[in-house]
Chains A and B, each alone.
Chain A
Amino acid sequence: MSWTGKILRVDLAAGTCTSEATNMEWAHDYMGQRGLATKYLVEETDPKVDPFSPDNKMIFATGPLTGTIAPTSGRWSVVCKGPLTGAIACSNSGGFFGAELKNAGWDMVIFEGKSASPVYLDITNDQAELKDASDLWGKSVWETEASLRERRGDPDVRVASIGLAGENGVLYAAIVNDLDRAAGRSGVGAVMGSKNLKAVVVRGTVGVTVNDPMALMKTSNVAKEILAEHAVTGTGLPTHGTQVLMNVVNEVGALPTHNSRDVQFDGASDIGAEAMAEVRESDGEANLVSNHACFGCPISCARRSKIDPTHFTVKDKPQYQIVSGGLEYEAAWAMGAANGVNDLEALTYANFICNEQGLDPISLGSTIAAAMELYSTGAITQEDTGGVALEFGDTKAFVAMVEATARGEGFGKELGQGSLRLCEKYGHPEFSMTIKGQEFPAYDPRAIQGMGLAYASSNRGGCHLRGYTVSSEVLGLPEKTDPLVTEGKAGLVKAFQDLTAGVDSSGTCIFTTFALSGDDIAPMVDASCDGDWSVERFVEVGERIWNMERQYNIAAGFTGADDTLPERLLKDAAKSGPAKGSVNRLHEMLPEYYELRGWDASGVPTAETLGRLGL
């Protein structure tokens, strides 16, 4: 119950779609979505597989609560081996696609092999078929979605697709659904492109059956009430969106700026939530048009924006003079502060391009920032950049690099390989702000110590969404801890990581946890699913998933030596703000973290730990 009990297996080489039963024993041990899909990947693939090999599998996965009445039940994930990191990749998206897939009767879709020519997968309930996508190859996400919608003649279909970035093998290409929601990180879009799979279109009217509908209604209503009444989920996020963080994080001196040379950005207030709501002189409108919600979400944190039609980025391009997915905090930071760019309209345009062609704005922004640092030291010149003077703070140069990367042209091809490969090529790997090859996001670990450990230990490389201790260390949720101390952070990181792995496997959104605790979420799983789902079991499933991902990465060749941070964060002190003079003190946290995890001193789970978790 709540699981559909069915998995769609798509053999892209043979062109076949077959239905099989979900392994319910695994579903009970790994819940769904992130956990269950990873279990299938672990069981069915070699961790040493080349991420672009046909032998790498890619799994679209829903959770038991996806598509139900539980609040924020629109979540779904893509799991595969990631090309950017060589580690497990698991990218979580919202929108409406995941709930539609679940309502079509599928827990997951497993893609294996590689199609000889471009195809898309067409699903209507239990009918699934691969169809020719030759005419869609070379099209953007936006064009592809519009074309498939028209082809189906059904306005209610949902589409997930790749743009040019996924086709071109950009190592941080995203899979975008519903025009501007994305499985954004780790290059899952490039894996989809490597399989010649352009899109998945789905229509589902079967519905989702849950174990105890009345109990789910009751527990969901309790959760919705808490979300509505909480200042963050009821007021802050719907009104200001994630972008409210821009000024907060700058104030605490944790805003990575100029490729992390600095920790505060003079232009922060020009590109945050408050600036988005300001009326422009040019057209009397604000950048922010409205908020927007994913399936079943009472929070509505997403932004809808319109670029100033007189701005240089769009003035001759009516196709971008539209209302579309606006800036979120991570994107605004990565493309703004990291590059020293304080032009809100240019950043919104760059964000549109990321959605249109399927790019992760975090990795894109951070990679351009690394290129700017390479340029500033003379390691690259205008000969490399195609004549662009790639100075920090140069908006036009920044926009040119975004466009070149999206199209896969010129220097954009090198930018599409991510900052680590770029910086290694030009002899300065120390300029790459990456962990396990993935660009870290919008929090400088010199000023938020716990995030240093969260980044270093993240199973998918630099990431804030595996253990968001910013919530406690900066935002005071659920309770305030001091961001400048390391004491207690190992336990904090582990607690956030395990709870998050549970939430990511349930079908609901991690943003609920600003207001809800496991004690509020587990009862919804319990009402929906077979068996008893206590909060203890929910968190234990999270811990089991964390250790399974760790084991996968170890088998893929990672060691404890990879649990580290860019040298800059460990050796070069922050230049301003509360953390002035400080570095991240990872060495004070990592041994304790390993111990709390039940791992040996080199970061390998002990036999006892694996036994305790049934791994």
Chain B
Amino acid sequence: MSANHHNMKITFKLFAGLSAYLPSDATRNSTEIDVQLGETVHQVIDRFNVPREEAHLVMVNGIYISPEQRDLSEIRAGDTLAIWPPVAGG
């Protein structure tokens, strides 16, 4: 990896029907992945083949990222990116 592509570790979580898109080393729906400096939320979603239309609840560190923010919002080292399809309960 060149110096221009700083790798950073983040925690990546996919839940419910999206669990199948997790890397095989994930445990309890969570794994650590490398992201590159400047990589956006949508780029990570696309890289793991998560269908954008199923990425309903997208949270970075527990804070909701709206669809329009996902092209702009850059992931930072140590972040937790967690994604759910539409879910409910109560």
**B80 cross-chain contacts in A, Cβ below 8 A:** 251
Structural contact, B87 and A248, CB atoms closer than 8 A: yes
Stretch at the interface among B2-10, B12-20, B34-42: B12-20
Q: Check if B28 sits within 8 Å of A244, measured CB to CB.
A: no
Q: Are A236 and B59 in contact (CB under 8 A)?
A: no
Contact A248 B15 (CB under 8 A): yes
Q: How many interface contacts (CB-CB < 8 Å) are there between A and B?
A: 98
A274/B89 in contact, CB under 8 A: no
Closest to A473 in B: B64
A477 within 8 A of B: yes
B62 at the A/B interface (Cβ < 8 Å)?
yes
Q: Could you say which of A236, A269, A480 contacts B17, with CB atoms under 8 Å apart?
A: A236
Q: Determine whether the beta carbon of B16 is less than 8 Å from that of A514.
A: no
Please indicate the chain B residues that have their CB under 8 angstroms from the CB of A253 in the complex: 62
Q: Please give the distance in Å from B78's CB to the nearest CB on chain A.
A: 15
Confirm or deny: B85 has a beta carbon within 8 angstroms of a beta carbon on chain A: yes
Select from chain B the residue with minimum beta-carbon distance to A513: B88
Please tell me which one of the listed residues B28, B29, B59 contacts residue A252 in the complex, with CB atoms under 8 A apart: B59
Q: Identify which of residues 35-67 in chain B touch chain A, using a CB-to-CB cut-off of 8 Å.
A: 54, 56-57, 59, 61-64, 66
- Of A9-17, A120-128, A463-471, the segment with at least 4 beta carbons within 8 Å of chain B is A463-471
Chain A residue at minimal CB-CB distance from B29: A274
Q: Which residues of B lie under 8 Å from residue A510 when comparing CB positions?
A: 90
Chain B residue with minimal CB distance to A275? B28
Q: How far is the CA of A241 from the CA of B86 in the complex (A)?
A: 12
- Determine if A247 and B89 form an interchain contact, defined as CB atoms under 8 angstroms apart: no
**Contact B16–A273 (Cβ < 8 Å):** yes
Chain B, Cβ-Cβ closest to A240: B16
Given contacts A245-B87, A269-B30, A329-B90, are A476 and B15 in contact (CB under 8 A)?
no
Residue in A235, A243, A252, A470 whose beta carbon sits within 8 Å of that of B62 in the complex? A252
B89 touches A239 (CB 8 A): no
Is the pair B61, A236 in contact by a Cβ cutoff of 8 Å?
A: no
In the bound assembly, the distance between CA atoms of A242 and B90 in angstroms comes to 6
Q: Kindly state whether residue B84 has any CB partner on chain A within 8 Å.
A: yes
Q: Is the CB of B17 within 8 A of A245?
A: no
A251 lies within 8 A of B62 (CB): yes
Known: A252-B62, A270-B28. Is A232-B19 also a contact (CB below 8 A)? no
Name the A residues within 8 Å of B62 (CB-CB): 251-253, 577-578
B51 → chain A closest CB, angstroms: 12
B21-33 toward A: CB 8 Å interface, digit per residue (1/0)?
A: 0000000111000
Nearest CB of B to A366, in Å: 16
Q: Beyond A236-B17, A251-B59, A269-B28, is A480–B87 a contact (Cβ under 8 Å)?
A: no
Indicate which residue in A232, A328, A482 contacts B88 across the interface (CB closer than 8 Å).
Answer: A232
Chain A hits for B54, CB < 8 A: 231
What A residues does B75 contact at CB under 8 A? none
Partner of A236, one of B19, B82, B87: B87
Q: In whole angstroms, what is the CA distance A578 to B59 when docked?
A: 10
Q: Give every chain B residue within 8 A of A251 (Cβ-Cβ).
A: 13, 59, 62, 80, 82
CB-nearest residue of chain B relative to A254?
B62
Q: Please tell me if the beta carbons of A475 and B19 are within 8 angstroms of each other in the complex.
A: no
Provide the residues of chain A in CB contact with B86, threshold 8 Å: 230-232, 236, 475-477
User: Which residues of A404-440 are within 8 A (CB) of B?
Assistant: none
Question: Is the C-beta of A330 less than 8 angstroms from some C-beta in chain B?
Answer: yes
Docked Cα-Cα span, A578 to B63, in Å, equals 6
A475 in complex: contacting residue of B17, B28, B57, B82, CB < 8 Å: B57
Give chain A residues whose Cβ lies under 8 Å from the Cβ of B28. Answer: 269-270, 274-275
Assuming the contacts A247-B15, A273-B16, A274-B15, asked whether A231 and B90 have C-beta atoms less than 8 A apart, the reply is no
Contact B29 A269 (CB under 8 A): yes
Q: Are A244 and B89 in contact (CB under 8 A)?
A: yes
Which residues of A259-291 have CB atoms within 8 Å of chain B's CB atoms?
A: 269-270, 273-275
Would A248 and B84 count as touching, CB distance under 8 A?
A: yes
Q: Does A237 contact B (CB under 8 A)?
A: yes
B residues in contact with A273, CB < 8 Å: 16
Give the complex CA separation of A329 and B87 in angstroms: 13
Min Cβ gap B63→A in Å is: 5
Q: Would you call B56 and A476 a contact (CB within 8 A)? A: yes
CB distance from A493 to the nearest CB of B (A): 15
A–B Cβ pairs within 8 angstroms, 30 of them: A231-B85, A231-B86, A232-B87, A235-B17, A235-B85, A236-B16, A236-B85, A240-B17, A242-B88, A244-B15, A244-B16, A244-B87, A244-B88, A245-B90, A248-B57, A248-B87, A251-B62, A269-B29, A274-B16, A274-B29, A301-B89, A329-B90, A330-B90, A475-B57, A475-B86, A476-B64, A477-B88, A482-B64, A510-B90, A578-B63
Please give me the 5 A-B residue pairs with the lowest Cβ-Cβ distance, nearest first.
A242-B89, A231-B86, A245-B89, A269-B28, A578-B62
List 19 additional contacts besides A237-B89, A240-B17; criterion CB under 8 Å.
A230-B86, A231-B86, A236-B87, A237-B88, A239-B16, A240-B16, A244-B84, A247-B13, A247-B15, A248-B15, A248-B84, A251-B59, A252-B59, A252-B62, A269-B30, A270-B28, A274-B19, A468-B90, A577-B62
